[in-house]
Amino acid sequence: MKARRDMKKLTEIVGKKDAETLFQIYANPSGPPIQKSELFKKPGENLTNEEGERFKRLRIWRETIMSIRRMSHQMMPSNKMIAELSQKNPKTLDELRKMNLFSEWKVIHYGPSILAALENVPYESNIKGLIPINKKFE
């Protein structure tokens, strides 16, 4: 696009109205350069050392739960959620609940082990009763 400044090609890609607007912006840039967005940072990238340690422990916790329950990662907290937990470091189930990251079922069943992992204390006794998920399609 830069070398040819091809309005026809841009119109094919985004439509006439948007192409005209984008072409004008491209031809006459204004304002400061766009900085790297926060969207492109990896979860956990900007954590302090202490938060980073909690992040690592929660990732291990997640792998443990996935192994015990034989479930996929889509059903577990994402790295972004784990990073938020690491930063906010909830101390009680109520604090965990107020973060609105988990359903009530997950707060009740996973909450105690999450809090233990955050505090770096053994959580195995909190996850003994978890039942493996039966897969429908095997």
**pLDDT for the residue 1:** 43
Total structural domains within the chain? 2
- 93-135 pLDDT, tens digit each: 999 999 999 999 999 999 999 999 999 999 888 888 788 877 6
Instruction: Specify whether the backbone of 31 is left (phi greater than 0), alpha (psi in -120 to 50) or beta.
Output: left
Query: Which domain covers residue 21, as residue numbers?
Result: 1-31
CATH assignment at residue 76: 1.10.150
pLDDT higher than threshold 90 for residue 8: no
**Together in a domain, 25 and 67:** no
- Domain assignment present for residue 106? The answer is yes
**Together in a domain, 87 and 24:** no
In single-letter form, the type of residue at position 61 comes to W
**pLDDT confidence band for 85 (50 / 70 / 90):** very high
- Domain assignment present for residue 67? The answer is yes
**Together in a domain, 59 and 119:** yes
pTM above 0.85, yes or no: no
Collapsing DSSP to helix, strand or coil, 121 comes out as: coil
d(CA 17, CA 52): 46
**Together in a domain, 54 and 14:** no
**Together in a domain, 121 and 68:** yes
